[in-house]
Structure 1
């Protein structure tokens, strides 16, 4: 049963009153209220929308002119004519996704903007000028350059859904107050805030809206404008069979809005063309058959009509018009007059009622989403209270601090033990890796050089690997200092990253994780990373070196020979006594040999020279060997003294370094203790805040439940309005 105009008017008034109470809750309600006001105004004007359409615009114009001659119809009809358009494919209900952008500027002025989403495009949001939605850093706090993106996805049911992806922003993306971890599937009514969980001044809020629309007004606007009418008059030429375009339109156009649909077949003047009547009869019979067989979903009425007005023809021509044709006009006008005779607004009611349904169909999902959102919020708030009451945070925080302090004491005790072992290893005389061994090896590789100064021979040790150091002490000091620097750097690296399962950094990392017994309490670590070890002060001291030279007093060669001859004459002559018998080739006694020496030397004077040369050669070689042994002994003594000095020097410097390392460890221990005091203070503040939070949550819960009750009451009222 079709709805009456007075009933529709009452419904429109009821919906407008209902929306007026809820305008502050939803921005869309304002537009719906305006649209309903326009529908009400159209209903009160009682103007019937009549759409005349034809493949040939001239035919539509003729019917328009004919109807316009009727004064009664002119007052109630809103006439329009146009050509046929292609009927778009039926898409049914479509999802329309959009972002409703809200911000609060100065003086609490709220600004709103809408962005429609496309099924094949990802929306980027951030401070980058190339973003689809660019947010100024002057207006919004904490928004990253590339903050987030909203992208479409196709689920298993081939339905487009939308998900939000945080692009590792600095301050985060929040949906309904909860921070997004990577991806989050959006639902209609979700509230998105950037860099803050709460909406307010300097914070942008984006509301995701997803609604179903029966009519896709963006697809072929001409078509939807064409069928938005109360009466549809399709004009054809009876002298021609229906074209493919005409058949397609008649068969497929959407008659949802339309109260009455007529096919107006233009009849020619039979008096002027005798064959035209037969052609018209045949075409109209074929048309009626086609309508009965093919167009079963519409109530179409076929009307044969002579379109030329009798009032617009000449007097002579009136006599030539068939009376039957003029009668068709009379019948046609009577048909239209009967339609609007009593209450023409009832024809309007069907179209306006359908538009009313389309306008208000988004209201119920709004309330359902709001109620569902409040239900989730209430559940979340109740879960918060339960979680706050579930754990005794005071005991947990106290035990956490105690455990961390115990771990700190154990850490520094173990570090000092490892450091002591490392010191013992570097000073181990029996280890090739120790600095004691490397100093000895360095000294052993020094090259001795003998020079003469003021008539005295001096032995000087030199480092051939470092010719740039004239002073060997500088070379040795540099060697020892660099070795200790390397050891110190490695030890501090071990202290900070290796000793006792990760060193200081490992302990701080574990402790940072350990203190998060209260979720999200510490946004950053309260602990300060270990400082770099600065020991340059120990190495900038002017060190006192030791002597690297010794004076060597070399004996005179002549004096050495005389001394040796005097002390060892018999040892020198013995080889001569043994050799001479072989030379003279005769067996004689010892005394005879000695007595014959003068005769032998007179007879063989070269033999005397040979003996003297042999004795001198022997003594010179012995003299040189003695000098070399004395020099080597002097060099070894210098090297030993030098190695002992710098080994002792290294031990003393190492002790100073260890004192500085221990002082640095005490500073690091104090830094950790100070951080623990801060953590303990933060825990106490947190406990106080938790108590306040519980009170606030309970107050919020009461407000949420009241809001939910109000929404359910309004939804029940809306459901009553929709029961038609």
Structure 2
């Protein structure tokens, strides 16, 4: 047995030498610590028994049934673990990270936590859609400012590494703990990252990186199944059914020699059930004899068997960590090769100034054409002969204003009011003009971005990209450019305007006054006719008497006269109504004409000019953004070239050095596999009939577990 122990110690030392050279990561310390634990367990002359249960009293009752407590303490290390606590720890994230946005004393902004998602590349910036999207008022932060790369293993969360580098679109740089970020850097928990400046401000935020590693909980979880014999003790069948599946999942990659399910109803020895999971049930008496009569040879065999299994697990963990390093190194090799390929594909003797001139000429032609188109659209907007012009629509609105008669202080007024709204005429007309001009401005802006002059601004960007292909290859990351969706013209309507009077004093003639005037006219006409008759030699009194006599003597003529009088009264009434409407129309038309004249002048000389100016300013701002876009694209090409040139000594030498490191890592993996094969052969010899199994008849007593 001593020779077996010596062989295993030799293999452990070989493993230590393989992983110790050229590796200086934190994970290395964890692997070496695990090897030290294996060595300590191998030299310990006791077996470890761990009891997992929902209730410590159930475990104590079970221990009391096993026999002499002193014998158990002399031969075994006994330890209890609360299963409910273990399951809570299992549900926690074993390893996560976050960025914490710090609050300045001068800012009314809450401290914000951004959890980093579980993906390989994480973007940080103000651009919508970034994984960590910062508020827009941090103007020193670029749309895509940082990229954080997460390297790790799906099976072992402790291998996570977080590396950060500035994005190609980053304009103002990044500072970590006061030092400017150049190239790529590994983040450590507590690192303070300032974006856009060397010190935090209202425009450059400070982020604190926190790597949340629940290592203590994770260690406690692993330690619960790191033993020679494991008991799951419960007092109900239901707890056994609920807990056995969860506990078995904790045993994955564990090195437990024996696992028992113990059901202890009512905390007594009656009907106690002991199962060597998953093979068979045994008697409590048989279990007691096995535990209390274990000799030194059996102890040694059990101990070395478990240490062999634990060493294999540590080697697998080391291999996985080295494979992760291999992956990172391989990505670095690929980046160097891409940059070298990019440099070789660049056209020799390329004149960058010539490219800039071509793009600027395209921009000038675009602006000149857009200006002419917008001016024509402005003229159409003010041409009242066009049905879609704002001048024509304004006339229709004024014509549709409702006429109301109001009385104030004993006087009667005619007033114009808009229909179906509580606004007065001036507010109503300004609101309508504002909305019409807003729609026109946004429509024009959409056409500027997408239609005018060969697909607008977007077409200009596409044309510029085609020109830039001379310096940007497929390996370069092109900057992104997004234009604003609409034009802000609210400030064009904020100046206080003079309000036009929409009310005029109006007094109607009473109906009886109008009738008297008309009847008097009729009387004068009749008197004139009678005077004409007297001039012809006829007596006026004789004519009147003759007419009166005829009418009074003939009912028909009487009815005819009465009918004529009624008809005349009706005509007078209709004439009165028409005259009243005509007078009202004259009064309101005066008000409408004043409104038309004033608002046509306001639209032409103030509103439309200001909106066009705002449209022009917006276009200039977006063209400035376009200029920065072109500059950024050229900087990317320049940076790609300079990165290759800045490689240590020579890109070829640096690439060869990376490839040499990759070969060393591959050799380490092979050496670890060789050691693992030797340990597995040793483990197989222990389990063979010649070597003797721990639970076989040749080694253990006849009543030993599993015999």
Q: TM-score, normalised by structure 1?
A: 0.50
Structure 1 Cα separation of the partners of residues 77 and 629 of structure 2: 79
Greater relative CO, 1 or 2 (CA 8 Å, sep 6+): 2
Matches within 5 A, 1:137-536: 145=113, 147-148=115-116, 169-171=131-133, 186=154, 191=160, 193=162, 198-200=185-187, 201-202=191-192, 203-204=209-210, 218-219=224-225, 221=227, 223=229, 356-386=311-341, 409-425=368-384, 434-442=393-401, 445=403, 462-463=414-415, 465=417, 481-497=430-446, 501=450, 522=479, 525=482, 530-536=487-493
Q: Is 368-377 or 591-600 further displaced after alignment?
A: 591-600
* 3-state SS in 1 of match to 2:229: helix
Structure 1 residue 708, shift from structure 2 partner = 1.7
Matches within 5 A, 1:7-86: 10-22=10-22, 24-25=24-25, 27=27, 29-34=28-33, 36=35, 80=75
Matches within 5 A, 1:548-563: none
Structure 2 Cα separation of the partners of residues 5 and 188 of structure 1: 29
Is the Cα–Cα contact under 8 Å of residues 496 and 530 in structure 1 kept in the other structure?
A: yes
Structure 2: which 5+ residue stretches go unaligned? 50-61, 79-85, 104-109, 135-143, 166-183, 193-208, 216-220, 232-253, 258-271, 679-707
Structure 1 residue 134, shift from structure 2 partner = 7.6
Structure 1 Cα separation of the partners of residues 303 and 539 of structure 2: 168
Is the Cα–Cα contact under 8 Å of residues 426 and 434 in structure 1 kept in the other structure?
A: no
Q: Which of these residues, 120, 123, 128, is aligned with residue 93 of structure 2?
A: 123
Q: What's the counterpart of residue 238 of structure 2? A: none
Q: What's the counterpart of residue 103 of structure 1? A: none
* 3-state SS in 1 of match to 2:162: strand
* 3-state SS in 2 of match to 1:651: helix
Cα distance per residue 1:138-179 (max 9 Å; x no partner): 69xx9964625669xxxxxxxxxx99999974259x9x9766
Structure 1 residue 618, shift from structure 2 partner = 11
Q: Which of these residues, 680, 684, 704, is aligned with residue 658 of structure 2?
A: 704
Structure 1 residue 686, shift from structure 2 partner = 3.2
Cα distance per residue 1:466-486 (max 9 Å; x no partner): 89xxxxxx9766665455344
Structure 1 residue 373, shift from structure 2 partner = 3.7
Structure 1 residue 435, shift from structure 2 partner = 2.6
Are 2:638 and 1:688 aligned?
yes
Distance 1:567-1:502 versus aligned 2 partners, 3 A rule: farther
Distance 1:619-1:494 versus aligned 2 partners, 3 A rule: same
Structure 2 Cα separation of the partners of residues 515 and 717 of structure 1: 55
Structure 2 Cα separation of the partners of residues 207 and 524 of structure 1: 38
Structure 1 Cα separation of the partners of residues 69 and 332 of structure 2: 64
Are 2:669 and 1:669 aligned?
no
Q: What's the counterpart of residue 569 of structure 1? A: 530
Structure 2 Cα separation of the partners of residues 366 and 417 of structure 1: 69
Is the Cα–Cα contact under 8 Å of residues 387 and 393 in structure 2 kept in the other structure?
A: yes
Is the Cα–Cα contact under 8 Å of residues 225 and 256 in structure 2 kept in the other structure?
A: no
Structure 2 Cα separation of the partners of residues 603 and 427 of structure 1: 69
Cα distance per residue 1:400-439 (max 9 Å; x no partner): 6665665555555444434433332577699996333443
Structure 1 residue 508, shift from structure 2 partner = 6.7
Q: What's the counterpart of residue 287 of structure 1? A: none
* 3-state SS in 2 of match to 1:462: strand
Is the Cα–Cα contact under 8 Å of residues 398 and 596 in structure 2 kept in the other structure?
A: yes
Cα distance per residue 1:651-694 (max 9 Å; x no partner): 32221122222222222232233333333333343333232233
Distance 1:171-1:524 versus aligned 2 partners, 3 A rule: farther
Structure 2 Cα separation of the partners of residues 398 and 527 of structure 1: 26
Distance 1:357-1:685 versus aligned 2 partners, 3 A rule: closer
Is the Cα–Cα contact under 8 Å of residues 3 and 346 in structure 1 kept in the other structure?
A: no
Is the Cα–Cα contact under 8 Å of residues 448 and 461 in structure 1 kept in the other structure?
A: yes
Distance 1:34-1:195 versus aligned 2 partners, 3 A rule: closer
Structure 1 residue 24, shift from structure 2 partner = 1.8
Structure 1 Cα separation of the partners of residues 300 and 541 of structure 2: 176
Distance 1:707-1:560 versus aligned 2 partners, 3 A rule: same
Is the Cα–Cα contact under 8 Å of residues 121 and 148 in structure 2 kept in the other structure?
A: no
Cα distance per residue 1:473-520 (max 9 Å; x no partner): x9766665455344334333433457875899x967887899888776
Is the Cα–Cα contact under 8 Å of residues 5 and 349 in structure 1 kept in the other structure?
A: yes
Structure 1 residue 22, shift from structure 2 partner = 4.9
Structure 2 Cα separation of the partners of residues 345 and 717 of structure 1: 28
Structure 2 Cα separation of the partners of residues 598 and 252 of structure 1: 145
Structure 2 Cα separation of the partners of residues 601 and 32 of structure 1: 140
* 3-state SS in 2 of match to 1:362: helix
* 3-state SS in 2 of match to 1:193: strand
* 3-state SS in 2 of match to 1:374: helix
Is the Cα–Cα contact under 8 Å of residues 319 and 669 in structure 2 kept in the other structure?
A: yes
Q: What's the counterpart of residue 277 of structure 1? A: none
Distance 1:569-1:435 versus aligned 2 partners, 3 A rule: farther
Is the Cα–Cα contact under 8 Å of residues 546 and 645 in structure 1 kept in the other structure?
A: no
Structure 1 residue 375, shift from structure 2 partner = 2.2
Structure 1 Cα separation of the partners of residues 121 and 621 of structure 2: 45
Distance 1:137-1:185 versus aligned 2 partners, 3 A rule: same
Cα distance per residue 1:159-208 (max 9 Å; x no partner): xxx99999974259x9x97668xxx9946586453987842334345899
Q: Is 357-366 or 622-631 further displaced after alignment?
A: 622-631
* 3-state SS in 2 of match to 1:541: coil
Is the Cα–Cα contact under 8 Å of residues 64 and 79 in structure 1 kept in the other structure?
A: yes
Is the Cα–Cα contact under 8 Å of residues 3 and 350 in structure 1 kept in the other structure?
A: no
Q: What's the counterpart of residue 204 of structure 2? A: none
Q: TM-score, normalised by structure 2?
A: 0.50
* 3-state SS in 2 of match to 1:530: coil
Cα RMSD, aligned residues only: 7.2
Structure 1: which 5+ residue stretches go unaligned? 66-77, 84-115, 127-132, 152-161, 210-214, 231-243, 254-262, 267-299, 301-306, 308-332, 454-459, 468-473, 575-589
Structure 2 Cα separation of the partners of residues 62 and 179 of structure 1: 55
Is the Cα–Cα contact under 8 Å of residues 99 and 113 in structure 2 kept in the other structure?
A: no
Q: What's the counterpart of residue 88 of structure 1? A: none
Structure 2 Cα separation of the partners of residues 56 and 622 of structure 1: 123
Larger Rg: 1
Are 2:613 and 1:649 aligned?
no
Distance 1:410-1:391 versus aligned 2 partners, 3 A rule: farther
Cα distance per residue 1:6-49 (max 9 Å; x no partner): 6555544444444443562452x434445545666788x7x977
Structure 1 Cα separation of the partners of residues 89 and 594 of structure 2: 83
